Amino acid sequence: MPDKEKLLALYLLTHPTGDMTGVIRILPETIMGELKWSLEEVHETLSELFQKGFLTVKKDSQWIVINNFLKFNAPENPNQIKAIIKLLARIPKNIAGFDKPLSYLLGAVNALNNKDEKLKQQFNELLADYEQEQEALAEGSETLSEPFENPFKTSSSNSSSKYNSNSNSKDPCRVDTRPHEDEQTGEVILSGEQLPEETNPKARASSQQKQARAIDDIFQYWQTIMDHPNARLDDKRRKLIRNALKTGYAVNDLKTAILGCSYTPHNMGDNDRGQRYDGLHVIFRNADQIDRFIHNAMNQESMDANREIHQRGKNGLSFLDNDLSGTPDELWDKC
């Protein structure tokens, strides 16, 4: 592979959002910010890795499957298999490439002794959920199981609509997303009914642990992007992140907002006071503020242009300072 493809491959293999499944939920804009690439470079490199069979990715999806991850990182004992089954159960079964970790996991399950029948049953339930999703897709108009020849063939100008394409769908990665149906019984939960975590202490504890991990993840990302390694996650910051999650934003939404703040000249010190305004209390102040920074993250080029204009103004440069002699075309170039 060329160096860029090697770098992106290693980035995905070692990214903190990854786990034992080899399935990663990540926005191209996040890759863009962390690797300091353009969005076009991210799309092109993902496409190359896709065509070489390293990963499976679908346009308009935030999910990436590292195809042979479980082949080279096979579970070594029943506990690891159980953990992978639980992780895969939380992932939408209609993402492109979901069959690949399933096939390698099947081999690991078949190698178990007869005493692990309960584990085999759990895998069969996961497999049944996947097959049910595939049947539903086959009956509909979409064929999400078939990957595109080039998943990023369209222009990066569609990134905003792509980002919001699944905003109304059930999203298991949103910390506070309410399921459309009870995951245990399959019964639809109507508004006003008690949710499982409200009646089941074990489910409540699990939900609280998941939220705590999400808060830690977001805070560490803010530390890295804003270069505040010595900052501490106190109660005030924890509450800010928790309230943003309760508003309905997913973890990656809030990370994208943090990234967008780092692209905003005023917030990064290009202002009259030379003061940075990059605190979590600024980024997560309200929904409008979060949406504004998400927009900035997805429009880096316009942010760079704004930064240049501001810098020129701060240095006392303007069109009127230029020599106004010459033809109209020459004057236009001077602008």
- pLDDT score, position 300: 65
- pLDDT score, position 303: 58
For 57-75, what is the mean pLDDT?
88
2 or 311, greater pLDDT:
2
Q: What is the 3-state secondary structure (H, E, C) of 20-86?
A: CCCEEECCHHHHHHHHCCCHHHHHHHHHHHHHCCCEEECCCCCEEEECCHHHHCCCCCHHHHHHHHH
Cα-atom radius of gyration of the chain, to the nearest Å?
23
Count CA atoms within 13 Å of residue 49 on its CB side. Answer: 27
Answer yes or no: is pLDDT of 328 > 70.
no
The pLDDT-based confidence of 307 (bands split at 50, 70, 90) is low
Single-letter residue type at 222: W
Instruction: Output phi, psi for 12, to 5 deg.
Output: -70, -40
CA distance 176 to 186: 19
Q: How far is CA 183 from CA 101, 174, 195, in A?
A: 22, 16, 11
Answer yes or no: is pLDDT of 145 > 80.
no
Which range, 164-178, 229-243, 300-314, has the best average confidence (pLDDT)? 229-243
For 38-67, what is the mean pLDDT?
89
Q: Which of 97, 179, 181, 109 is nearest to 144 (CA)?
A: 97
Answer yes or no: is pLDDT of 294 > 50.
yes
Q: Using one digit for the tens of pLDDT, what is the confidence trace for 179-224?
A: 333 333 333 333 333 445 555 777 777 778 888 888 999 999 999 8
CA distance 217 to 241: 10
CA end-to-end span of the chain, whole Å?
A: 43
Single-letter residue type at 90: R
CA distance 126 to 93: 9
Instruction: Output phi, psi for 23, to 5 deg.
Output: -110, 125
For 144-159, what is the mean pLDDT?
42
290 or 210, greater pLDDT:
290
What contacts 233, CB < 8 A, 6 or more positions away?
215, 216, 219
Q: Which of 328, 27, 315, 327 is nearest to 152 (CA)?
A: 27
Q: Which of 48, 57, 73 is nearest to 24 (CA)?
A: 57
- pLDDT score, position 306: 59
For 113-120, what is the mean pLDDT?
73
228 or 161, greater pLDDT:
228
Q: How far is CA 317 from CA 275, 323, 329, in A?
A: 22, 12, 20
Instruction: Output phi, psi for 66, to 5 deg.
Output: -80, 110
For residue 23, the tally of other CB atoms under 10 A from its CB is 25
Q: What residues does 24 pair with on adjacent strands?
A: 64
Q: How far is CA 59 from CA 91, 146, 149, 205, 288, in A?
A: 17, 11, 10, 36, 27
CA distance 330 to 333: 5
User: Using CA atoms in the order 10, 11, 13, 18, what is the torsion angle rounded to 10 degrees?
Assistant: 170
CA distance 55 to 63: 10
